[in-house]
């Protein structure tokens, strides 16, 4: 696997986490907002044990915060 493939995989994981947070908010009847998505991602980051997964969630929350 070369660097480009790793970056693509990481981007896909980040997109999946953001999408999962949005689906979770909808399922729980919470209004979708940037803050709600960030809060959801940060809450999940605190519960997961895998360091790599924590990093993906941190990066996803940072992307949402910055509006990228």
pLDDT digits (tens, 9 = 90+) for 33-47: 999 999 999 999 999
pLDDT at 2: 84
pTM summary value: 0.90
Nearest to 63 by CA among 25, 10, 6, 1: 10
Residues 53-57: what's their mean pLDDT?
97
Residues near 14 by beta carbon (within 8 Å), at least 6 away in sequence: 56, 59, 60, 63
**In which domain, by residue range, is 12 found?**
3-66
Nearest to 56 by CA among 2, 22, 6, 5: 6
Our count of domains for the chain comes to 1
Q: What CATH number is associated with residue 43?
A: 1.20.5.5260
Cβ atoms of 44 and 60 closer than 8 Å: no
């Amino acid at each position: 696997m070369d660097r480009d493939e790793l970056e693509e995989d990481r981007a896909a994981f980040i997109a999946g986490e953001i999408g999962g947070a949005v689906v979770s908010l909808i399922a729980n009847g919470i209004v979708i907002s940037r803050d709600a998505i960030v809060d959801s991602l940060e809450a999940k980051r605190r519960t997961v044990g895998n360091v790599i997964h924590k990093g993906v969630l941190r990066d996803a929350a940072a992307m949402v915060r910055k509006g990228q």
